[in-house]
Amino acid sequence: MRLRWQASLIVLALTSGGCAAVSARACLPGTGRSPADRLWLDAHAAFAAGRYAEAEQRFDSLARTYPTTSAGREARFYAGMLRLDPRDPDWDPKVAEARLRDYLALARDSVAASPLYHAAEARALLELAVQLNLPAEERIAGLQPEPAAAPTRTVVRVVRATDNAALLQENQQLRQRLAEREAQLQQLEQELARIRRVLTPP
């Protein structure tokens, strides 16, 4: 579970720039009055509200129905990104990898086509998806799961005063390290909350 939320922070950080950082209407490819534009706005509204299945369905529909428009092309990026967001119950890095590859392949389909506005983010997210789809031991260090703690057993022993002082010092050090980890976790949670606020359209 912790690995999924590490991936979530990466996804949100990578998509906090460009269109993802402003409202969906502000980066709307069209005027906002065409069916494609309305579908674009509806998809982003569902995404911002946490209705991931609905958002994915609308992005897929947009890409399928209006494939040559900027909105239809960029919808492929969002459909792939959704599957890398661990808040999505249908989180699946294999599906994300395939969709992000499809999105990046659009750049080779037609030189005259509109540019891919999220190409840089898509390449980074594709690398993340590829890593997550590898066996755990083959991933880069930052994406490998933490080793399982070995089973422990309780041992009762009598200690001398000098040993007791050493144990107290060790206990204090352990408490300090635990407090530092809790502080780091709290910072990550605060950063995640901040990024989510940035991504949520006004």
Task: Give residue limits of the domains in the chain.
Answer: 2-147+178-199
Q: What gap in Å lies between CA 100 and CA 108, rounded to an integer?
A: 14
pLDDT of amino acid 21? 36
**Residue-wise over 134-173: b if at least 16 C-beta within 10 A, else e?**
eeeeebeeeeeeeeeeeeeeeeeeeeeeeeeeeeeeeeee
Structure tokens at 26: 């502000």
pLDDT in tens, 133-192: 999 888 887 777 777 666 777 666 665 666 677 888 888 888 888 888 888 777 777 776
Q: How many angstroms separate the most distant Cα atoms in the chain?
A: 81
Q: What gap in Å lies between CA 150 and CA 19, rounded to an integer?
A: 46
Q: What is the pTM of this model?
A: 0.62
Cβ atoms of 122 and 100 closer than 8 Å = yes
* Stronger pLDDT, 112 or 154, i.e. the higher one: 154
When mean pLDDT is compared across 36-40, 101-105, 162-166, the lowest value belongs to 162-166
14 band by pLDDT with thresholds 50, 70 and 90: very low
pLDDT of amino acid 79? 95
| Average pLDDT rounded to a whole number, residues 44-52 | 92
Cβ atoms of 88 and 52 closer than 8 Å = yes
Q: What gap in Å lies between CA 32 and CA 199, rounded to an integer?
A: 20
* Stronger pLDDT, 200 or 100, i.e. the higher one: 100
Q: Give 3-state DSSP helix, strand, coil % of the chain, rounded to 5.
A: 65, 0, 35
State percent of the chain over pLDDT 90. 36
What's the CATH number of domain 2-147+178-199, 3.40.430.10, 1.25.40.10, 3.40.50.1000, 3.90.1150.10? 1.25.40.10
